[in-house]
Structure 1
């Protein structure tokens, strides 16, 4: 089995959910379940954030011309149903189901075309950054998948490859194997250290660092956050439990 991880960075005005998340940087959406057939797509998403952020996310799902994961840049004529499964002060769980038309395109459907059936999907949406993790057999054509994906998103989003590798079974109680840093994450982290981003007080802010690297601020923030998450998990996983101290004689 192979793992494919990539991200879409949406331009303003191209995706109502991305716009809502960009307005509320502390909000997150992750998929709990995501399935696609040739004609349908349905998924369950778990959103976290402030009440105002969840209101904006809910509004984007329920009132805008938004179809879960549809990449069509104009009205594709799809039929979608979205239901709220749970709502609390800081969490929102949404169920979405849409029936596609010939004008619809989506990451799962493009993946089915090029990577075959039995593909598994995980997603995480933060700001304008939408990360996909795909588990597939490894027998498909990843290059053709990316070609069709870039054609489908057009100028609405930039695509960024983060990782492609064999999946690895770990003995850490089933927690995610994050692998190594992507080249982009490593470059962002190295630049942050070299320019004093982690000094106290900081010698550079994230905006100036993004200008130096010639990347959008949101992209750099995302790369640093993912790199920091990886290093923190790696550190904790490598810790050993100290021996019990010997009793005093």
Structure 2
């Protein structure tokens, strides 16, 4: 089995959920479950953020002209249903069911066409940065998948490859830093340290650092969050590892 991780960076106005998240940088949406057949897709998503952010996310899911995961740039006449399963002050759980038409395209359906059946999907959406993690057999045509995805996305989003590896290698352990962080994430972290982003007080803000690296602010924010998340988990895992018992004489 192989793991494939990539991201779509949506342009303003191309995805209602991305627009809502861009207006609320501390909010995020992650998939709890995502399944697709040839003609249908259904998923459960968990959103977190402030009450205002959750209202905007809920509105984006419920009132979009067409399903948020559809890559069509115009109304594709698909049938969709979205329901709120749970809601609190800082979390929102949404169920979506989408019956596609021949003009529809989505990451899961393109993956089915080129990577085969049985692909597992996991998503994470922060700002305009929409990250997809796919687990697949490795027997499909990866180049054809990305070619078809590029055509479907068009000018609405930029694609960024984050990782591709055997699942056993990519999930090996906390010490395998380079198997977890992408080169882009490592570069973002190094630049942040060198330019004083982690100094107190900060010597540079994320906007200025993004301009220096010539990347969108949301992209840099995402890369730093993922790098920080990995380092934090690595540290905690090291702290919780049992210490070696001193040898007795």
TM-score, normalized by length of structure 2? 0.92
Counterpart-to-counterpart distance in 2, 1:230 and 1:129:
18
Corresponding residue of 1:110: 110
CA shift for structure 1 position 120:
0.2
| 1:233 matched residue in structure 2 | 233
Which residue in the other structure is 1:132 paired with? 132
In structure 2, what is the equivalent of residue 79 of structure 1? 79
Q: Distance between the aligned counterparts of 1:220 and 1:62, measured in 2?
A: 29
2:31 counterpart residue number? 31
Query: Which residues of structure 1 form unaligned runs of 5+?
Result: none
User: Deviation string for 1:113-167 (max 9, x for gaps)?
Assistant: 1100000000011111111000000011111111111111111111100000000
Distance 1:116 1:178, change over 3 A: farther
Which aligned segments of 4 or more residues in structure 1 are displaced greater than 3 angstroms? 169-172, 241-245
Give SS of 2:168's match. Answer: coil
User: Where does structure 2 lack aligned partners over 5 or more consecutive residues?
Assistant: none
RMSD (Å), alpha carbons: 1.9
Q: Distance in 2 between matches of 1:123 and 1:46?
A: 10
Determine the C-alpha separation between the residues in 1 that align with 2:92 and 2:193.
Answer: 36
Q: What is the count of residue pairs matched by the alignment?
A: 241
Q: Secondary structure at the match of 1:215?
A: coil
| Preserved contact between residue 9 and residue 128 of structure 2 (Cα < 8 Å) | yes
Report the counterpart of residue 202 of structure 2 in structure 1.
Answer: 202
